[in-house]
Amino acid sequence: MSDPRIYPLTFAPVLRDYLWGGRRLATLYGRDLPAGAVAESWEISGHPHGSTAAARGFWEGQPLPAILDALGEQLVGSRAGWALARRKFPLLVKLLDARQDLSLQVHPDDEYALVHENGELGKTEMWYVLHTDPGASLILGLKPGTTRRSFEAALAADRVETVLNRVPIAAGQSVAVPTGTVHALLAGTVVAEIQQNSDTTYRVYDWGRLGADGKPRALHIDKALDVSNFDQPAAGIVQPRLISEAAGVVRRELIRNRYFVIEELALSPGSAFQGRCDGSTLEIWGCMQGEVAVECDGAASVTLPAIRFGLLPATLGAFEIAASTPSVCLRAYLPEVVFAAAA
């Protein structure tokens, strides 16, 4: 008999109402939102700032950290030993709706965060662009030749735009945001974000904006300067790498780093992708366009419409992602290279 605790998991999102948010998660994707601005929807999260609860099945109503405590490696896989040692779910999945520009910010790596942020890990992330207004762009890194001194001088003189690398973007593109990358998601953009399970952000510039209390929001300039990568080459949009193309399924790799691998799969109507969770890693699937069904032995089929995510436990076994319409999915899993985060 199959284990009733192991099945494709879906979650009730946790919403965040930062001042730069909007309403497009409702108008574009039919989300049922409370009144007011909604900046972020945490889709799959085990972070204490917003843990998502299972929406169905044996674990219905249970937060992801409790499921992780109960299942451990059965949930996240043998490649996640570093995360299990810290009792942390390895990834965090969000949707972001930028009605206004986000602050200019940067994230630390593990080593810096562990020292300065009470044991929190760093934050490597990626964005998959879901929607853009005409002319949309984002800030990704600094212009070549920018040094710590020239960046600090530009901040002090309120001319930070002169040292920022601005990149045009369009729906369907992907952006890698390694730690140390000065960046900002700008107005007119909706993205899906997959990242380390961390909420560590250093705000370095906020465009002269006031917070809801009428005061400037806090900046973290010293820490931001400490962790910013001034030797980073000019960054741009990710160029996907074709993995395979057969039977109506086109599979491309978008991102690969020490924390996660992200693939994009385009499925024709009636086609299906067959995979297997063999105990080495969890898989997170998100339907970006169309609609797919997640099927596996011993568990009810789960439908993922656009824009929804599901978590496949590491010991789930064989599964199938079947498309009823032209569909595009993201697939996230942990890489084979196992590493130990700094103590």
- In this prediction, residue 343 has a pLDDT band, given cuts at 50, 70 and 90, of very low
Q: Do 11-227 and 241-333 come out as alike in CATH topology?
A: yes
**Is 203 a residue of the active site?**
yes
Q: Please name the residues in contact with 134: beta carbons below 8 A apart, sequence gap of 6 or more.
A: 188
Amino acid at site 213: D
In whole angstroms, give the CA distance from residue 7 to residue 301.
10
- Beta bridge partners, 194, equal 93, 126
Q: Which two tokens stand for residue 138?
A: 């984002």
pLDDT digits (tens, 9 = 90+) for 35-44: 999 999 999 9
User: Class of 241-333 per CATH?
Assistant: mainly beta
What are the CA-CA distances from residue 196 to residues 120, 121, 168, 262, 315 (Å)? 11, 8, 25, 13, 22
- Beta bridge partners, 216, equal 210
pLDDT score for 1 = 39
Counting Cα atoms < 13 Å in the Cβ hemisphere of 120 gives 18
Residues of the chain with pLDDT > 70, as a percent, come to: 98
Residues of the chain with pLDDT > 90, as a percent, come to: 89
In whole angstroms, give the CA distance from residue 59 to residue 335.
27
Domain positions in the chain are 11-227, 241-333
In whole angstroms, give the CA distance from residue 274 to residue 279.
16
In whole angstroms, give the CA distance from residue 162 to residue 20.
23
Q: Is 299 helix (H, G, I), strand (E, B) or coil?
A: strand
> Which of 329, 342, 71 has the alpha carbon at shortest distance from 194?
329
> Which of 150, 47, 38 has the alpha carbon at shortest distance from 90?
47
pLDDT score for 340 = 55
pLDDT digits (tens, 9 = 90+) for 2-56: 799 999 999 999 999 999 999 999 999 999 999 999 999 999 999 999 999 999 9
Q: What kind and span of H or E run contains 330? A: strand 327-333
pLDDT score for 341 = 56
CATH match for 11-227 among 2.60.120.10, 3.20.20.100, 3.40.50.720, 3.40.190.10: 2.60.120.10
What pTM, to 2 d.p., does this model score? Answer: 0.95
Place of tokens 């339907």: 287
Q: Is 218 helix (H, G, I), strand (E, B) or coil?
A: coil
Place of tokens 């990834």: 91
Q: What are phi and psi of 278, to 5 degrees?
A: -100, 15
Neighbours of 53 (CB within 10 A): 17
> Which of 262, 278, 260, 263 has the alpha carbon at shortest distance from 334?
260
Q: Which two tokens stand for residue 158?
A: 């309120």
Catalytic option among 24, 203, 251, 308: 203
pLDDT digits (tens, 9 = 90+) for 219-274: 999 999 999 999 988 778 999 999 999 999 999 999 999 999 999 999 999 999 99
